[in-house]
Structure 1
Amino acid sequence: MLLLATASSTSAQGPATVPPGPAAPRTRASDRTEQGAVLSPPDAARLPVRRVVLYKSGVGYFEHLGRVRGDQAVSIDLTSGQLDDVLKSLTTADLGNGRVTGITFNSSAPVEQRLRMLGLPLGASTSPADLLNALRGARVEVQAGSAAIVGRILSLEERQRTADGATETRQELTIVTDAGLVRTFTLGPAIGIRLAEAEMRGELSQYLDLVGSTRARDVRRLRIGTTGSGVRDLLVSYVSEVPVWKSTYRLVIPSAGNRAPFLQGWAIVDNTLGEDWTDVELSLVAGAPQSFVQQVSQPLYTRRPVVPLPRTAMLTPQTHDGTLEAFAKAESVEGGIPGGALGGVVGGLPSAPNAAPVPAPLKEARSREDAVVESLAAAPVAARGQELGDLFQYTLTQPITVRRNQSALVPIVQADVAIERVSLWNAASGTGRPWRAVWLTNDTGLTLDGGSVALVEGGAFAGEGLLEAIQPKERRLISYAVDLAARVSVVHDGGPRRVSRMRIGKGAFVQVVQERVTSTYTIRNEDSTARTFVIEHARRDGWSLAAGTATPAEATAAQHRFRVVVDPRASTELKVEQVREVETRVAVTTITSDQIALILQGRDVDASVAPQLRAVMAQNAEVTRLQSAVRERRAEIERIEKDQARVRENLAALKTSAEERQLVARYASQLNTQEDRLVVLRRDIEDLELQRVKAQDELVRLANAVALDITME
């Protein structure tokens, strides 16, 4: 048993029971609960669930409230998985003249750990051969026919025997009798083995009990001890794993024009715990607080390093070195025309151009529809909303009962909402047919959790879609059917590149090249009434809408949404032009005559700019000429030095004959001439370098004096 030294405690997935105590006193008015209900003795024997809060992260918060008397303890049966969550979140409070003395639960070490505590070195899965090897050295009685031989197990070996071309593997058990006789038996159906030692029989029985316990019902009993005087309320709260609650909505669109559409929301909850929820206060949180599984109920063993014992002693004296170093507003393309009607119950079918007189049965059906709509709209609000930190909570206004292992559909939203009927198209759909959709504004004042939405119009099913979580006053598109009365196509045109802007400043020349892409959407409306289309145009990184393009109704992270109104049985076009500007930056000293000519084509170019730029070009040409002259002289010096090296090699190979002395004199004269030329070249390089530095400084001055920012025509 493990004892939790805490005054707060437990939770239950199953009914909590109280051990028998003294006879219950007569109930007094002071024994009433906070809800005012008197708990009879059977009620005092358990802690019923009074409050349930369900979250989207797969957990639920549970509160139990019941009565204890004197020094009593409440026992709660849980599974190991439930106990882990309970131990992480358990809170208990004695609401009277008493206190919680402690909480205990039966511990359960892992099977592998418990097996290691046994005398038999066996795993959870074993075989007869494993068992006999584990019993090596134990006294056994081998029954072979009518004979019974007692001895200690020496070994178990596998041997192969070949007979008539077939190989057979047999297991042979060898024992040593008390008289020292070694006997070998081939194991088979006729051989029986009995453990002769009571201690080993007990070890084997413990092993079998332990292995068999893994199939037993997983029950972990939590015991909450209390002490105090009189009858008192005991509150226990905890968090436990439960199924995620789901949302589903119905958007009812009345046929009558004077009735606003309204939204109904329902939540599906499941009670998979071990007891009924009877008259509980149920809250549903539209959020997913972080929750995780941690096996805190399991004893934890850590791995320790195995340090071998020293095998030899270092008896030779050792020496050790000393220390050496210490270390706006959207616009519609066609403007002003109101959005079209649904155009048919299913799939946006075209409306009839001229409606015939309404038959009497149809009038009666519409009257029934109006009555149903009014009844639904008049239904009371079943839940109230409440902000819960970063989450949102629906709390049912009336207690609810959900029997164990049953589910329920509970109402959470009932409010009028504003919608706009549209036809939604996106190129990613891969079809020319748009979706019929509604642009829903959340006027409920509540945060709506994500879920399915079924649309009902004219008393019939019109389609269904999906809604992600939406905040109050937020607007969201919900598509629900294919629009068979409309078609959309798109053509993309890359367009030419052109220089849109040039800037010169601080010696840098910046040229801005503008790229344009035009997407032309052709929209056809075959219905007899005008339709409002929403065209989703993909956003591209680095691109923006060009001037003159219609303002989108809204934009998401990935799409621009354009509203287009199309007249009955008509077509229209929507052009969306996107631009991107690419900059190239170079030194103004590298400007060319072609670029100067292009600059002079810009708007409002100052007349003094051209002489400045041409002066920069001329000075740049002078710097280039001086650099070229320096390179030419250095190249000549390199050629002379290579030739001198060749001549010196030839001089070293000559002897003292008359012909060779003449050749030496000629080589010496050549070297003298080359040395004179080298002196001149090095002097020229020094002069040219001085001229280049001055010319470069003048070029920088001229370049920095130019300031320009023009937009191209």
Structure 2
Amino acid sequence: MKRVLLFALVCLFSLQPQAQTRHKRSASAARPTALRSAPAASGASQSSLPIRRVILYSNGVAYIERRGVVHNHAEVALSFKQSQVDDVLKSMVVLDLGKGRIGAVSYNSSAPASARLAEIPFAIAAATEGNNGGLAGVLSQLQGARVTVVTASRTVTGSVLNVETRHSQVDSNTPPITTNRLVIASDNGALTAFDLAEVRSIQLVDEGSRRDLAEFAHAAASARRRDAKTIVVTSDGGGERELIVSYTIAAPIWKTTYRVLLDETGKPFFQGWAIVDNVSEEDWNGVDLSLVSGTPVSFIQPIQNPVYRYRPVVPLKEDLNLKPQTYEPGEGGSGAGSLMGTLKDPNGAVVVGANVTLTNATTNQSFEITTDSDGVYRAQNLPPGTYTLNASSPGFKNLTVTSLNVRPGLRSKFNANLEVGTVSEVVTVTASGENSVTIDGTDANDLSTTSRNYSTMALLMPGASGGGGGGRNRESLSNLVSRRESGVEESTTASEIGDLFQYHIDQPVTVPRDRSALIPILQTRMEGERISIYRSTEDSGSEGVAYAHRPMSGMLLKNTSPLTLEDGSLTVIDGDAYAGEALLERLKPAEERLISFAVDLGTLINVRDDDTEPQPVFQVRAINGVLQTHFYNLRRKVYTLINQTDRDRIVYVEHPRSEDNEWELTEGTPAPAEKTANHYRFRVTLPAHQKLEFPVSEKDEQWETYQLTNFTRDQLQFFIARKYIDDKTRAALETIIALKDKVAAASLRLQLIDKEAAEIAQDQARLRENIKALTSTAEAKQLIARYVSKANEQEPRLEQLEAERRTTIADRARFQGQLDLAIRSLSSDRILK
């Protein structure tokens, strides 16, 4: 049915009466912003700008530069994917190197085709579905439009009244026949019916109807390719001149991979390759290619979609009286905003318990809420900005609403209806760009060389040719590259761009679209040597160790090139055979790096830990009322290396360092070749068929602390016996201990005085209670007199105890002061032999 519709549209556009030609207005005059709709009317020349320069960044961005020659008034149409338009609009630079003037840069609307078709006064469904589809369906929606109908026998002009559908059947054995008849009203009032099967052409006379059909056709065509976007660059000027257009778009990151060829002496010949992917829809023919490492700041900002500002709706007063008006706050408000609304189903009933998620488009912060019993959701204290609303509820399609603006200090409102369906279906309410589609190029893993024969792979290199068989006189790869006969010519210039590093490929590069390429960036002989590297399996950083007693074969590589080598895989060819693979981390010029690529089965290493005792005290310090004795704890690890081959070995032993770096190497341990963050790296020369023990001892300084206020005579005797202190310190400590004893004696005397005074006070309290209890008899009077006499005898003793207490307190304070002074005055630092 859609094919019938397309045929009908072609007929309507192609046949136009000559009598109406002078009344037409061109599409460009009706729509001046559509720069490509009528190039003949404006005198513009369509020009193309080929890609001349490409810069790929390691953060997934590509800089594209186009150059070309344009003439007079030029229009350059550039096609992009929907997902690329935001980056292009954000970064595009246009330069006219002649005397031209850059005009507008336009692009087609970002509104979805469904929204554009909704503005056209007839529907696609009515024109393509049902029994009255095709041409009849189109004409039935053009009631009142003036048309010219041409048949084999007549031509009639009039207004469309209706399209009749008739069903007839000759007999019951034949299927019914359906015919459509167009009824038009002529200017003289005559009504004429035409069988559409007999009509040769129908010409729309009204300009408005022709324009509506043109919009319909354009929107329908756009709907077929929703990911296409055309940006038109215009330049006004005269004569021939050069035009430059540059922009950035998302692109696959470029990758590096390396080859190392070791000769008989272990000297490395180095090759570096870059893997680039052209996933665009245009070939790169002879482009100037650069590869930049680093991570410049880059982001995506949705600027292609129309954005509307919030304006309050002020209703008209019904009585139209001039009364004071109140208005909502403007955009100058401050603080957080809020958003609320009601969710309903197609029947108008509220949706209770729907999940609503609001996501800030800038910060990506999300807020989750649920509709209440009235179907209302409320989000308070929202940071101002643009939000995306997602609403979901069982039995309904998921609803997505973009570009909801929350203004500072304002309360926004948005109501929506949920459509019946499954939760996997999504309804987009507002216009939004298509989802980004990432097209992966050739993956580096597809370029694995582990299963290839390197003698055969060499024939794949440019300029390489096969030899005449596999005789013993065939030269190895390492000999060939040493004479610069590999046929691979690198032509790369290195430069620094701020904190970034750039590889510039000096020769033009061609990469067809949807293809990837290996591009040589480096070929040179570097400094290095063949080594073995050992790291114990007990080491926390030894996850990749395959054999507990075997080191790894590797090399010490020094980057003698001017290039910074990016991270990448590295394949090693030793002599004329595949030796293994490794990973190379970023290596700057003049920097050295250990690289391992295989297990060294010709070297055996055993490790043992020797028990050690705590070492003697080597330092005694007295300061700030503290006496410290310093000593070392030792630990010792012995590496036993056995060379089982007839060739000398250079072995790098990586000994783990403590996490807190408190353990340090002892004086008897050889100095390491270098230190890393986690290891001491020792270089050991191991002769052929020899066994060698390599001990590594470490010490950790410890100390014990003694508070001088608690120092005892037994501890003093211990220090004297061990000869930890000299005579001066000994005399000072003896004075401190003596003063401590005096302070202690005074404190004890105070305790005894207080105890005796408390006993007398308790006895006097008992006597007073007894006196109160006695009567006035003669015997009682005698007993009272005895109690009073005893109390009088105790009073002088209380006075004596109080005097002794005051004297003892003064003595203790004096002794304590002398003790504090003696402790503060003691300061010594003695190194023991």
Give the TM-score band, short-chain normalised: 0.5 to 0.7
- Map 1:186-201; keep pairs closer than 5 Å: none
1:46-72 residue CA offsets vs partner (Å, 9 max, x unmatched)? 221111111111111111112333333
CA distance in 2, matches of 1:610, 1:112: 99
* Residues 117 and 379 of structure 1, relative CA distance in 2, 3 Å threshold: closer
Give the structure 2 partner of residue 566 of structure 1: 686
CA distance in 1, matches of 2:221, 2:754: 96
Question: What is the SS of the residue equivalent to 2:89?
Answer: helix
Give the structure 2 partner of residue 31 of structure 1: none
Count of equivalent residues: 540
Aligned counterpart for 2:256 among listed residues 242, 247, 257: 247
Contact 2:526 2:557 (8 Å CA) reproduced: yes
Give the structure 1 partner of residue 652 of structure 2: 534
Aligned counterpart for 2:84 among listed residues 77, 82, 85: 82
1:472-506 residue CA offsets vs partner (Å, 9 max, x unmatched)? 11110100001111222222346333433211235
- Map 1:44-83; keep pairs closer than 5 Å: 45-83=47-85
- TM-score under structure 1 length normalisation: 0.67
For 1:481, give the aligned amino acid: A
% identical aligned pairs: 35
Give the structure 2 partner of residue 689 of structure 1: 809
Give the structure 2 partner of residue 578 of structure 1: 698
- Map 1:144-183; keep pairs closer than 5 Å: none
CA distance in 1, matches of 2:116, 2:704: 74
Give the structure 2 partner of residue 699 of structure 1: 819
CA distance in 2, matches of 1:392, 1:368: 31
Give the structure 2 partner of residue 621 of structure 1: 741
CA distance in 1, matches of 2:555, 2:63: 36
The alpha-carbon deviation at position 214 of structure 1 amounts to 8.7
Contact 1:18 1:46 (8 Å CA) reproduced: no
Aligned counterpart for 1:233 among listed residues 230, 242, 247: 242
Give the structure 2 partner of residue 386 of structure 1: 495
Aligned counterpart for 2:105 among listed residues 93, 103, 122: 103
For 2:629, give the aligned amino acid: Q
Give the structure 2 partner of residue 302 of structure 1: 405
CA distance in 1, matches of 2:243, 2:783: 124
Aligned counterpart for 1:458 among listed residues 548, 551, 575: 575
CA distance in 2, matches of 1:666, 1:214: 125
> Does the alignment pair 1:484 with 2:601?
yes
Aligned counterpart for 1:276 among listed residues 273, 278, 283: 283
CA distance in 2, matches of 1:293, 1:22: 38
CA distance in 1, matches of 2:584, 2:771: 97
Contact 2:262 2:574 (8 Å CA) reproduced: yes
Give the structure 1 partner of residue 520 of structure 2: 411
Aligned counterpart for 1:500 among listed residues 612, 618, 624: 618
Between 502-511 and 91-100, the greater mean CA deviation after superposition: 502-511
* Residues 370 and 697 of structure 1, relative CA distance in 2, 3 Å threshold: same
Question: What is the SS of the residue equivalent to 2:289?
Answer: strand
CA distance in 1, matches of 2:817, 2:570: 74
* Residues 52 and 655 of structure 1, relative CA distance in 2, 3 Å threshold: farther
For 2:515, give the aligned amino acid: Q
- Map 1:290-689; keep pairs closer than 5 Å: 290-298=297-305, 299=307, 300-304=403-407, 305-306=410-411, 363-366=472-475, 370-371=479-480, 373-376=482-485, 379-427=488-536, 428=539, 429=542, 431-493=548-610, 495-498=612-615, 499-540=617-658, 541=660, 542-597=662-717, 599-600=719-720, 606-634=726-754, 654=773, 656=775, 679-689=799-809
Between 442-451 and 667-676, the greater mean CA deviation after superposition: 667-676
Contact 1:602 1:710 (8 Å CA) reproduced: no
Contact 2:113 2:222 (8 Å CA) reproduced: no
The alpha-carbon deviation at position 284 of structure 1 amounts to 0.8
* Residues 74 and 466 of structure 1, relative CA distance in 2, 3 Å threshold: same
Contact 2:43 2:73 (8 Å CA) reproduced: no
Give the structure 2 partner of residue 188 of structure 1: none
For 1:48, give the aligned amino acid: P
Contact 2:488 2:520 (8 Å CA) reproduced: no
* Residues 86 and 434 of structure 1, relative CA distance in 2, 3 Å threshold: same
Contact 2:565 2:586 (8 Å CA) reproduced: yes
> Does the alignment pair 1:267 with 2:385?
no
* Residues 614 and 60 of structure 1, relative CA distance in 2, 3 Å threshold: same
Contact 1:261 1:417 (8 Å CA) reproduced: yes
CA distance in 2, matches of 1:361, 1:230: 64
- Map 1:131-142; keep pairs closer than 5 Å: none
CA distance in 1, matches of 2:260, 2:574: 8
Question: What is the SS of the residue equivalent to 1:613?
Answer: helix
CA distance in 2, matches of 1:89, 1:527: 62
* Residues 507 and 417 of structure 1, relative CA distance in 2, 3 Å threshold: same
Question: What is the SS of the residue equivalent to 1:535?
Answer: strand
CA distance in 1, matches of 2:780, 2:651: 103
CA distance in 2, matches of 1:674, 1:67: 126
Contact 1:437 1:480 (8 Å CA) reproduced: yes
* Residues 481 and 508 of structure 1, relative CA distance in 2, 3 Å threshold: same
Higher RCO (CA 8 Å, separation ≥ 6 residues)? 1
The alpha-carbon deviation at position 226 of structure 1 amounts to 2.6
Contact 2:262 2:478 (8 Å CA) reproduced: no
The alpha-carbon deviation at position 463 of structure 1 amounts to 0.8
Gaps of 5+ in 1: 1-15, 26-40, 119-205, 309-344, 347-359
Question: What is the SS of the residue equivalent to 1:269?
Answer: strand
For 1:511, give the aligned amino acid: T
Question: What is the SS of the residue equivalent to 2:405?
Answer: coil
Question: What is the SS of the residue equivalent to 2:695?
Answer: strand
Question: What is the SS of the residue equivalent to 2:404?
Answer: coil
For 2:552, give the aligned amino acid: W
> Does the alignment pair 1:288 with 2:295?
yes
Question: What is the SS of the residue equivalent to 2:259?
Answer: strand
Question: What is the SS of the residue equivalent to 1:484?
Answer: coil
* Residues 532 and 260 of structure 1, relative CA distance in 2, 3 Å threshold: closer
Gaps of 5+ in 2: 1-34, 121-214, 308-402, 414-452, 455-468
Question: What is the SS of the residue equivalent to 1:301?
Answer: strand
The alpha-carbon deviation at position 660 of structure 1 amounts to 7.9
Give the structure 2 partner of residue 198 of structure 1: none
CA distance in 2, matches of 1:116, 1:675: 115
1:222-269 residue CA offsets vs partner (Å, 9 max, x unmatched)? 2333322323222122221111111111111123x4x94221100000
* Residues 372 and 72 of structure 1, relative CA distance in 2, 3 Å threshold: closer
For 1:497, give the aligned amino acid: P
* Residues 248 and 307 of structure 1, relative CA distance in 2, 3 Å threshold: closer
For 1:291, give the aligned amino acid: S
